[in-house]
Amino acid sequence: MAHILILGGDGYLGWPTAMYFSSRGYAVTAVDNYFRRRACEELDTGMLYPVPDLSERAELWYRESGYEIKVVVADLADPGNMRKLFTGGVDYDWALDRNFSGAPNTVVHYAEQPSAPYSQIDHLRADFTLVNNLRVTNNLVWAVRDYARECHIIKLGTMGEYGTPNIDIEEGWIEIEHKGRKDRFLFPRQASSLYHTTKIMDTDLLWYGVRLWDLRVTDLMQGPVYGIETGESGADERLKTLFNYDEIFGTVINRFVTQAVVGYPLTVYGAGGQTRGFLNIRDTLQCVHRSEQSPAKAGELRIFNQIMETFSVRELAELTRRIGAERGHAVEIESLENPRKEAEVHYYNPTYQGLQDLGVEPHFLTDEVMSGLFEVVERYRDNVRREVIFKGVRWG
Amino acid sequence: MAHILILGGDGYLGWPTAMYFSSRGYAVTAVDNYFRRRACEELDTGMLYPVPDLSERAELWYRESGYEIKVVVADLADPGNMRKLFTGGVDYDWALDRNFSGAPNTVVHYAEQPSAPYSQIDHLRADFTLVNNLRVTNNLVWAVRDYARECHIIKLGTMGEYGTPNIDIEEGWIEIEHKGRKDRFLFPRQASSLYHTTKIMDTDLLWYGVRLWDLRVTDLMQGPVYGIETGESGADERLKTLFNYDEIFGTVINRFVTQAVVGYPLTVYGAGGQTRGFLNIRDTLQCVHRSEQSPAKAGELRIFNQIMETFSVRELAELTRRIGAERGHAVEIESLENPRKEAEVHYYNPTYQGLQDLGVEPHFLTDEVMSGLFEVVERYRDNVRREVIFKGVRWG
C-alpha cells in the first residue's frame, strides 16, 4: 500500500487531499502545525463555519469511512521534526496503529504560509513567511536526500511565480536562443508579493536538489482555487474543508460569492483587468492524484501549470453578479484603488496542457457550479461577519 | 559626510572595505556576528594568522589613521537588530562617539555564510546557510522600505548564480524573444551548491523589493577573490584581513598558493576544466567604491559581473606551479575525483564590462601579483597546518 505524506494536512487543500487518497486505499499521514488557524484567530479573519481539529476530523473520517488518516501536529520548519517523518520516532496525535508507517512513497507539500496579503502586512509577517516556507522546503529536500531518494515530491507552486510577462507562459521551462547558442532554462519568474517570491525561491531550491541528487519532483503551478465540496466531504458536515471569505486568506471567487450573499459590494481592485488562471478544488485533487500515479523521473523537475481556465477579475465580478441576481441577491460592484502593486491590464497567455495529457478532466466554472457555491455559502450566511471581509492590507 | 553601513564587517572583504571607505573620509559602521570565526573554530579550519576582533581592529585603525569605524556585534538575522541600524538604539561595541550615526546612505551587504562546501556538509549547515542568508537580506529590504527608501543597497552576489550555461552570460539581464513577443528578464540562474542557491534567492528577493518599493540596488556578481594586502592594510600587521587556506573557507587561488608553499600537492577536481572569473581583493574595493559613487536609480536593480579575467582550475594550478618553482617550491598537481557535482568541461563566456565603464581599473593576476601572494604566505608558512587543508566535503 503506497504511503502518502501530506504536509499542511489541516489546510484548505490539505484535508481534502488526505481524505481523497485515504478513500482510495492509500496509507495517509497528515502533518500540520495549525499556523493557519492561529493566524485566522490573531488577525480575526472570516471563517464561514468552525472546523474540528485534525485529530477530531481523522476520528470522524475513520467512523464514516473505516479508513485511517494518521495525524502529526508538528512544526516542519524544525529539521528534526521533518526527519522523523522519514526515520521514525514520530509522535502521532491520532492513529489507529501508532507504529511508524515508514518513509513515504510520495510527499505532497502544501506546508507553507499561503497568503500574499499576509506576507505584505509588515516585516514580521514577511520574515515568518520567508523562514517558514523555505525551511520546510529545504528540510524536505534534505530528508529525501538523506533517507528516501526514490520518494516523489509533489510540491504546490503558484502561477503567481511567473507574474504577467509579455510573452506566452510555458509549463515551467523555456528554450532560449541567444547569440547563436541555445540552452533550456526555468521559465523566467518575477512575482508581486513576498509570498509569491518565496514560491519562486522554493523552485530554485527544488531545482538545485533535483540536479545535485537526482530527486524526483513535480511542481504544480496552481492558480487560485475555488469551491468547498469534494467527493469525500459529504458524509459529515464537519468533514468540509475550511473556508475563508476575507481578503487575507479567502481566494477571490470564494470571497466574491460570500460578499454577494451578504450584500457587500464586490471589491474590484483598480481596472479589474488582472487576468489569472483558476481551478475547482476537485481538480486540485485530480491533478495531485494523476501526478502521483505517473511520478517524475529521477533527476526530473516536472512542472505543470495547474489551471483549467482564465478569467479577469472584472469577468468574475460580472459572473458573481449574474448568478447572484438569479438567486435573489442584488450584487453591486465597486472599483477600489488597487492596494497591490500589479499590472491591471496586461498580456496573459499561459499554456496548461500537461495535466490534461495525464488524464485530468477539468471542471469548469459553469453557472451550475457557481450556483452550487452560492448554495453552500447561503446556508452559513448568518456566520458571515461583514466587518472582517476587507481590512485594506496595502502593498506600499 | 556620507555614512556607509557594512554588514559582515569582520569578513575577508568586510574589514578591508571598512578601512577603504574610512580612509576616504566616510562615516563607517561595521556590523558582524562573528559567525565566520566561530565556524572556523568549530570545523578546525586553516587561518594563516590570528586576526584581532573588530573592536580591537577599529581601535588599531583609529590609532594608525585617526579615523573612526564604529563597530556593532549583532546577529542581523534578527529583524530587530537590523532595524536599529536605521532607527537608532544601537549598542556600539566600539566607537569614539557613541551617539547614533543615523540611517546609512549606502549599505554594503556581505553578511552571509559565504562558503559552498560549508553549506553542503549536512542538513544543519544547509539550514543555517538558508536561514541566515535570506533573513539578513529580507530584513535589510524591509528596513530600507520602512525607514530609508533612498538608501543604496550594494549587495554581493556571485557569478556562481549563473552556473555554466551553454549561452553567453550577460550582466544580469537578458531580452527573450519567444513566439513573436519580447520581454526583459533576469538572466537565468542555476547554481551548484546550497550556498550559491541562496544567492539566487537573494536576487529574487531584491528584485521583488525593487519592483514593489522602488528600492535602489546594485548586485555585484563576484567571482572568487584572491589576495591579502589592500591599500589600507600595510600600516599594522594586525590590520590584514583574515586569510583561510582550507577547502571550506579558502578560495582556490589563496589555497593553491598555500598548498604550494607547504609542499601539499595542488588538488584539482576531476578534469580541471572548470572555468570561472576571478578578481583581486583590491578590485573588490574599487568595484564597491565606484558603485557607491554612481548609485543605482530608484526602482533599478543594477547588476554587474564583478570579475576581471577568467581561468580554468587547471590553468591556475599550472600558474601556481610555475611561480612556485621560481620561488624554489617543488609543486605537484594531483587530480582528485571531483567531490562536487559540476561540469568539468563546459562553455563559459561571461560579459564583464559594466564596472570598467564606471572607472574600475583591473589588477590582473600577473606573475608579479602571484609572487607577492607567495611572499606573504611564505612569511607565515610555519602557521600552516597541512592536515586541515582538505577534509573531503562531498556534494553527494
- Tens digits of per-residue pLDDT, A145-155? 999 999 999 99
Rounded to two decimals, the pTM is 0.97
DSSP symbols for A194-255 = HHHHHHHHHHHHHHHHHHHH--EEEEEEE--EE-S--TTTTS-GGGSPP-B-STTTS-HHHH
- Residue B269 to residues B95, B163, B201: CA-CA distances in angstroms? 46, 17, 27
Residues of chain B with pLDDT under 70: none
Sign of CA dihedral A72, A78, A80, A83: positive
Please write the tens of the pLDDT for every residue from A102-129: 999 999 999 999 999 999 999 999 999 9
Residues of chain A found within 8 Å of residue B186, distances taken between Cβ atoms: 188, 190
Active site residue A199: yes
Given the residues B106, B137, B158, B258, select the one marked as catalytic: B158
What pLDDT does residue B396 have? 83
- B366 phi and psi, to 5 degrees? -75, 170
Please write the tens of the pLDDT for every residue from B61-70: 999 999 999 9
The minimum CA-CA distance between A122 and chain B, rounded to whole Å, is 8
Cβ-defined contact of B186 to A188 (cutoff 8 Å): yes
Active site residue B195: yes
* Strand partners for B119: none
In the structure grid, which three cell numbers stand for residue B153, read together? 543597497
Residues of chain A found within 8 Å of residue B201, distances taken between Cβ atoms: 134, 201, 204-205
Residue of chain B minimizing CA distance to A162: B185
What pLDDT does residue B30 have? 98
Which distant-in-sequence residues (6+ apart) come within 8 Å of B42 by Cβ?
Answer: none
Please check the confidence at residue A235 and state whether its pLDDT lies above 90. Answer: no
Residue of chain B minimizing CA distance to A167: B181
Three-state DSSP at B261 gives helix
Q: Which residues of B179-203 are buried (b: 16+ CB within 10 A; e: fewer)?
A: eeeebebbbbbbbbbbbbbbbbbbb
In the structure grid, which three cell numbers stand for residue A55, read together? 485529530
Three-state DSSP at A385 gives coil
What pLDDT does residue B46 have? 87
Cβ-defined contact of A178 to B167 (cutoff 8 Å): yes
**pLDDT band, residue A351 (cuts 50/70/90):** very high
Cβ-defined contact of B347 to A212 (cutoff 8 Å): no
Residue of B57, B34, B53 whose CA lies nearest to B111: B34
CB-nearest to A167 from B131, B167, B183 is: B183
The number of helices, as runs of H, and strands, as runs of E, in chain B is 12, 14
What pLDDT does residue A392 have? 85
Residues of chain B found within 8 Å of residue A193, distances taken between Cβ atoms: 208
Residue of A207, A57, A212 whose CA lies nearest to B116: A212
Residues of chain A found within 8 Å of residue B200, distances taken between Cβ atoms: 204
What pLDDT does residue B308 have? 97
Q: Which residues of A263-287 are buried (b: 16+ CB within 10 A; e: fewer)?
A: ebebbbbbebebbbbbbbbbbbbbb
Q: What is the largest CA-CA distance in chain B?
A: 64
What pLDDT does residue B1 have? 83
* Strand partners for A218: A154, A302
What pLDDT does residue B351 have? 97
In the structure grid, which three cell numbers stand for residue A385, read together? 461577519
Q: What is the largest CA-CA distance in chain A?
A: 64
Please check the confidence at residue A391 and state whether its pLDDT lies above 90. Answer: no
What pLDDT does residue A320 have? 98
Please write the tens of the pLDDT for every residue from A290-334: 999 999 999 999 999 999 999 999 999 999 999 999 999 999 999
**Rounded to whole angstroms, how far apart are CA atoms B85 and B76?**
10
Can you point out the beta strands (E) in chain B? 3-7, 27-32, 69-73, 106-109, 152-158, 173-178, 181-186, 216-222, 225-226, 266-269, 275-280, 300-306, 309-312, 333-336
Residue of B134, B118, B271, B104 whose CA lies nearest to B203: B134
